[in-house]
Every structure is written in C-alpha cells, then in structure tokens.
Structure 1
C-alpha cells in the first residue's frame, strides 16, 4: 500500500511539473531600423556586430544543450539593460530569455567587455595629446594648462548583504562613488547639447560614503601627477585638496582677480558634470530614475566601467544620443576643502596674478 502511494505521488508531481518552454529568439535587429536600434541599444547596427565579434570568443561555451543562447542575443540583452535599466524579467521577456539567464548573461558579457576593451579609457601622458587637450580647454573658457576636469558621481545600487553601512552615501541611499576625468573635445552633431566629452580615467571601486579626496589620493593617476609624469593641471571642486596639479576654487574670494578665476574655473570644470549627464542619459541603468543596479557591488563596478567604455565608443563613432538629456543631480560641491598644500596655494595665486588681475 505504501509503495503504491509513493508511486501515485511521484506521478502526480510529474504531471504538475512545468513543461520546458523554448521562447522565440528571432533576431530583433531584423525588425528594427537604424534609429530604433540606437534608441534601444545605444550602439548602431555596425558597432553592435563589431562588439559581438570582439566578445564572441569569451561568450561562446561548449554545450550539448539545444537552443543555446548565441553571443549576439547575449550582447543585445546586456546592451538593453545598460540602456534602459529596470527589471531583469522585462529584459528577458523582450529577448525570449528567463530572468535567471538574463542575470547570468549581463554578468558574463560585462566582465568580458571590461576585460577586453578597458583600453578605450586611457589618460594620455604623451605631449602631443596633452597639448591638444590643453588647447581644447583653453578655447572653451580661457583657462590655461588644463588636461582634465575631475569629479565624482553617485551610482545607486541595491542594498549589499555585507558592509551595508559603508555604501550609504551623503544623500542616504546605497551607492558607489565613481570618480572620473574627462577632456574638453566637443562635437556639435545633430543639433543637440554639445556634451560629447570623452572620459580619460575612471575609478569605480569605492562605496558611496567614500570622500572624493580620498579616492583621488588613492588612485594610480595621483602618483603620476605627484611624480610629474603628467605636465598639466586638473580642475576639481572644493571637495578635492588644492595641489600644484589639482586646482580648486577659492572658498571665499577676496579680490576681483579671485572672483574672475572662480568663474572661469567653474565654467571650465562644468564639462565633467555635463559628461556625467550625457553618460546617464545614454545608459539609464546608472540613473536613479530606473531604480538601482540589482547586483553585488563587484558586479555593479564592472557594469559602471562597461558603460563608460561604451560611452567612449559612441563618441568615437559619433553615435547620437536620441533620448532626453539628463543632468547629473548627484553632484554637489562639498564646500569644505579637506587639505590645502602650500605649493598649490602658490600655483593658484600665480595663475590669478598672471591671468585674472
């Protein structure tokens, strides 16, 4: 009797087991025109195929399963998440993939992208490139010898299971504090906001409550400037220490020259805030309007860097930003300089005397 009951229950479970569903994975790109592809995936058709060719060796897996997900679908799924953010289940419904597969695909494609294409973000140290950047910044607002504008931006993430408190930022949500430097090369395309500034350095590993000055002092670029491997200045807000190579505004300007310096400094450094705005407009997964990144901090870091890489690729290829442009509302000056170095005071004072008096 007991054996018969066990057999009955086993058959009952088999009857209730969900059948395996093979979802439709027709090539979405065949049904979209060029503008629709850019709107949904941020890259144009040719750039997507080029990206697939680069990442395919890292994404193809030997398997005996039927209907394995091809590299093109993996790349499209990941790009869609970068572009729109939101729930993974909705991304899966669009591409005929389960939610768990979407999560795994985003992680693998992101890691492959960062590993393979990190060279797309590179701070120039050769003199011809630095001279070109200095010329671009000087043409913009008349500030000389500038090789980059630096700032931090907050990227919202889901509450981590470990060390949760260190990820709570000054605005009281869980985030990464991402430091970036951009150049000042503008491209006026398609009659839209000319904020096509390229990112030359990104540091995305620090939790949200880390101060901007700490990130700067512990990044590899700090050592290059300190050792005078880079000839030029960075412009930062009042949250950064004043150094001979990192110029910040006067907190309390006491002369007409200092006020002129502050105005010129602000209008020149504004490029980094505009660059963040374009980045988050292009890749909405980084903007709080789509919620937050639903991954552990390490994977969130990779996603952030991957979006910066793709942003530079879009600029190199002059791919337009078709969606509404957003401002980076997470940026606020700290209005409290953490450190002031005498050599930095002398450099800034000399600049005011020569240029702004």
Structure 2
C-alpha cells in the first residue's frame, strides 16, 4: 500500500539574512565590524556547520551580541537578523557556553605575589592610589521574576534581579565576577562570602 502513496517532502524555507553597513555595527552590536569578526574568531573559531541554511560563526556572534546588547524578545532579535526564534535561542545558549569556556583567559584575579605587586604599581602610577589591587562593586541585573523563591529575587528597588559582584583592575578589565546571588541579598553579604 505504501508504494502507491505519494511521498511528501516539505521544502525548507530560510529567512533572508540581512547584511549590514559597517556604520550600523556599533549601534546594533556595540562593536565595529572588525571587532565582531575578531570576537567571533576568538570565541567560536572556524565555522563548523555548512549544511543548508546554517549560520556562519559571525552571524551567530551577531545574534548573541544583539541579544545581550539590547535584551528583548528572541523573536524580535531573530526577525531583525533573519532567523527563527528557536535558532536565536539555541545560538545565544551555544555562544554563551563557548565564551564561558574561555572566561579564565580574560577574567583573572591577581593571586601570585608578582601579580599583586604589578596590580598595586599600576593603581599607584595611573591614579596615585597606593596599595590598591582592584575596584569592587555590585549591580542588579533585571530578570523575569522566577516561579520558585520569587521573593528572594526582589531587590530593595522592588524589581526582580540577580545581584552581581564584579572586580576590575586599573585598566577597567574584569578580574572576577560572581553572579550567584539573588537581588534581595545585600552587597556586604556577597563580599563576606566571596573568594576575594
């Protein structure tokens, strides 16, 4: 019976990918086109997938940068770039994973005596600030209120957030980041429980 039934092969339809002028890159991605290409090569390497309508690594980085630079709905990001929402979701998740794998290259707190000595010298030379090895602060990153333990995420300004503690060196480069605390937690508690 099956040999007499017509087989149906759906045709894949890919959205048109939008190419940008170089002047639009900074407004949309907060980086120049050259920098987006460098970041893409550094974190994602060579394009691994060439089948059908697969995104190049530069396109994947554009989706990610657009999402983190102007958080919104993945549908809107996908529509602006020319991909489906599910592709935008998978792309953001994949790129974050790849960046986190290399985070130790870029985010390092001074631990050796030599690192501490160099950090102190940089603060002294640049800002005439003796004995400093870094600057520390916390900030609230707004999130959707979670279903579980929702009240723990509501901060003193009455919106749901994650309280992020970060340190930087004299060159304004991150040296540590802690994103493990809900918004209701006070900065001093995060500091007391940190590894810094």
- The question of whether the paired residues in 1 share the 8 Å contact of 2:44 and 2:98 is answered with no
2:82 pairs with 1:96 = yes
Aligned twin of 1:52: 40
Indicate which of 148, 154, 157 corresponds to 2:143: 157
Partner SS for 2:176: strand
2:189 pairs with 1:203 = no
Shift in CA distance, 105/112, structure 1 to aligned 2, threshold 3 Å: same
Between Structure 1 and Structure 2, how many residues are aligned?
Answer: 188
C-alpha separation in 2, matches of 1:212 and 1:59: 41
Partner SS for 1:147: coil
Deviation at 1:139, TM superposition (A): 4.8
C-alpha separation in 1, matches of 2:40 and 2:70: 20
Partner SS for 1:144: coil
Indicate which of 15, 35, 39 corresponds to 2:27: 39
Q: Which consecutive residues of structure 2, in runs of 5 or more, have no partner in the other structure?
A: 1-10
User: 5 Å matches for 1:330-345?
Assistant: none
TM-score by length of 1: 0.47
User: 5 Å matches for 1:60-75?
Assistant: 60=48, 66-75=52-61
Shift in CA distance, 211/201, structure 1 to aligned 2, threshold 3 Å: same
2:160 pairs with 1:180 = no
Aligned twin of 1:135: 121
Shift in CA distance, 153/59, structure 1 to aligned 2, threshold 3 Å: farther
Deviation at 1:44, TM superposition (A): 2.9
Indicate which of 147, 150, 156 corresponds to 1:170: 156
Partner SS for 1:220: coil
Q: Which consecutive residues of structure 1, in runs of 5 or more, have no partner in the other structure?
A: 1-18, 186-196, 222-357
C-alpha separation in 2, matches of 1:141 and 1:48: 31
Shift in CA distance, 135/55, structure 1 to aligned 2, threshold 3 Å: closer
Partner SS for 2:60: helix
TM-score by length of 2: 0.81
- The structure having more radius of gyration, on CA atoms, is 1
Partner SS for 2:144: coil
Deviation at 1:97, TM superposition (A): 0.7
Deviation at 1:57, TM superposition (A): 5.8
Q: Which has the higher helix share?
A: 1
- The question of whether the paired residues in 1 share the 8 Å contact of 2:123 and 2:170 is answered with yes
Aligned twin of 1:110: 96
C-alpha separation in 2, matches of 1:171 and 1:201: 25
Q: Deviations over 1:29-72 (max 9, x none)?
A: xx422x432332223333322332344369846x9x62122322
Question: Larger RCO: Structure 1 or Structure 2 (Cα < 8 Å, ≥ 6 residues apart)?
Answer: 1
C-alpha separation in 1, matches of 2:84 and 2:24: 24
C-alpha separation in 1, matches of 2:47 and 2:101: 12
Indicate which of 12, 22, 33 corresponds to 2:14: 22
CA RMSD of aligned residues (A): 2.8
User: 5 Å matches for 1:211-222?
Assistant: 211-221=186-196
Partner SS for 1:145: coil
